[in-house]
């Protein structure tokens, strides 16, 4: 959980942000990066015509790998990104995204529901109506994340 607080102080010219946490985790590092860099939280992608555009990660539904490129499914269509899955995962907000298989990352804010009803599997229904499946080896990690552990 992230709590914010504003303190007004006369005579201050610059904005100073202090982050207090038990450790400098990936989530803390990501938050610091987003505060310092206004383009953090965006990806430079190509649309269907090959035109490069800036895509806000809040609009990303999922990212999957295929034929030497990543396919990004967003609210407004499909995009391509020439980057490794590991590299794009490092750029994404770790509080908002989770890897569900070797080939796919999803935006937790775009999930309608997780279906653990069939033993040993995890079906994920997205808000746009699509569905995907998590890798069996990652189900325990996903459950822990959903229960509040990062």
Residue 88 CB coordination number (10 Å): 19
Which tokens sit at 64?
């999957």
Bridge partners of 62, per DSSP, are 73, 106
Regions in the chain scoring below 50 on pLDDT: none
Contact between 43 and 53 (Cβ < 8 Å): no
Whole-number pLDDT of residue 26: 75
Domain chopping of the chain, boundaries: 26-146
Q: Distance between CA 65 and CA 71 in Å, rounded?
A: 6
DSSP letter string, 68-92: TEEEEEETTEEEEE-S-HHHHHHHS
Whole-number pLDDT of residue 106: 98
Whole-number pLDDT of residue 138: 94
Q: Distance between CA 69 and CA 67 in Å, rounded?
A: 6
Whole-number pLDDT of residue 139: 93
6-39 per-position pLDDT tens digit: 888 888 888 888 888 888 887 787 777 777 766 6
Whole-number pLDDT of residue 31: 77
Whole-number pLDDT of residue 37: 65
Whole-number pLDDT of residue 93: 87
Q: What is the pTM of this model?
A: 0.73
Could you tell me the CA-to-CA distances from 6 to 1, 13, 16, 18, 114 in Å, in that order? Answer: 17, 15, 11, 11, 36
Classify domain 26-146 at the CATH superfamily level.
LytTr DNA-binding domain (2.40.50.1020)
Whole-number pLDDT of residue 1: 67
């Amino acid at each position: 959980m992230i709590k914010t607080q504003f303190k007004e102080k006369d005579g201050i010219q610059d904005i100073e942000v202090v982050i207090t946490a038990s450790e400098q985790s990936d989530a803390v590092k990501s938050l610091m990066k987003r505060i310092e860099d206004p383009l953090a939280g965006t990806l430079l992608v190509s649309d269907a015509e090959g035109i490069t555009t800036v895509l806000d990660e809040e609009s990303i539904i999922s990212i999957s790998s295929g034929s030497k490129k990543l396919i990004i499914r967003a609210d407004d269509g499909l995009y391509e990104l020439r980057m490794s899955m590991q590299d794009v995962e490092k750029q994404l907000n770790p509080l908002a995204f989770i890897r569900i298989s070797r080939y796919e990352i999803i935006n937790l804010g775009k999930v309608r529901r997780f279906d653990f009803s069939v033993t040993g599997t995890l079906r994920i229904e997205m808000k746009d109506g699509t569905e995907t499946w998590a890798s069996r080896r990652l189900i325990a990690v996903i459950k822990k994340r959903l229960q509040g552990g990062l």
